[in-house]
Structure 1
Amino acid sequence: MRYLLLVSHGTFAPGLHSVVKMLMGDRDDVLSVSLEDGMGADVYAQNVKDTLANVAATDEVVVLADIIGGSPLTCALNVLSEKGLLGSTIAFTGMNLPMAMAAVMELQTTDMASLQASLGEEARAGIMEYVIETSADDDEDDI
């Protein structure tokens, strides 16, 4: 089986997980864990271990994290390494809702290399400026 693991500082990962559930349904292959304010690294590591308890050595894991080099990601990768899963794990930072949704849609149907390419593309495409068009009447108010 393949799992999507969302990790972050604060409540970002569980919040994103909640939105994914709302839009795509509750799934057993989507997991989340966060390093909360004031939580020690040892407590967070145990939470990651508990979250990954049902993940077997033959499974694959896609990790989406908030920032590169942050404790949530590095600790999650350490736990995955301890479980012998690092070789069957791909990880991305800068997670956002379009990335998470793409991962969920392709999690069980796409091979890891294709999923990896797809998530990279989705990450780049998901960040853009939304240009707000104003009418001529709005501009006259500024004069």
Structure 2
Amino acid sequence: MRYLLLVSHGTFAPGLHSVLDMLVGKRDDILSCSLRDGEGADEYVSELEGVISPITSDDRVLVLGDIIGGSPLTNALNTLAAHGLLACARAFGGASLPMALTAAMDLQSADEDALCSSMLSEGQAAMSEMALDLGSAEDDDEDL
């Protein structure tokens, strides 16, 4: 089985997980853990160990973290390593809903490389500034 593990500071990962539950349904192959405000690394790692307990060395895991180099992602990778699971993991930073949704939709696809490429592509494609049409000052005067 392939798992999607969402990790973050604050409530970002559980919030993202909640949105995925709404969009793709509740699934056992999507996991999340967050480092809450005021929580120490030991507490986070302890909780994370429970979250990753279903993952075995026969599985694969895509770890999607909020910030590359941030303590939730680095501790998640260290914890996977301590459990002998790092060799079956791929890690990504800059988590976004488009990335997570792409992963969730095709999580069990045969081609992991294509899935990871799609996650990155969708995440990058979704990042753009919206052009807001606010009208001109003259248009606003006409409405009065």
**Where in structure 1 are there 5+ consecutive unaligned residues?**
none
| Moved segments of 4+, more than 2 Å | none
Report the counterpart of residue 118 of structure 1 in structure 2.
118
Consecutive unaligned residues of structure 2, counting only runs of 5 or more, are: none
Deviation of 1:139 after TM superposition, in Å, equals: 2.9
CA distance in 2, matches of 1:23, 1:119: 16
For 2:96 and 2:65, the matched residues in 1 are separated by 9
Paired residues of 1:99 and 1:126 also in contact (CA < 8 A):
no
What residue is the counterpart of 1:18 in the other structure? 18
Other structure's SS at 1:17 match? helix
TM-score by length of 1: 0.93
> Matched residue of 1:33: which SS?
strand
Aligned mates of 2:97, 2:44 — CA distance in 1: 23
- Contact 2:4–2:104 under 8 Å retained in 1: yes
**How many pairs are equivalent?**
140
> Is the 1:7–1:64 Cα contact (8 Å) retained in structure 2?
yes
Q: Which moved more, 1:33-42 or 1:109-118?
A: 109-118
Q: In the aligned structure 2, how far is the partner of 1:81 from the partner of 1:132?
A: 46
1:1-143 correspondence runs (5 A): 1-135=1-135, 138-140=136-138, 141=140
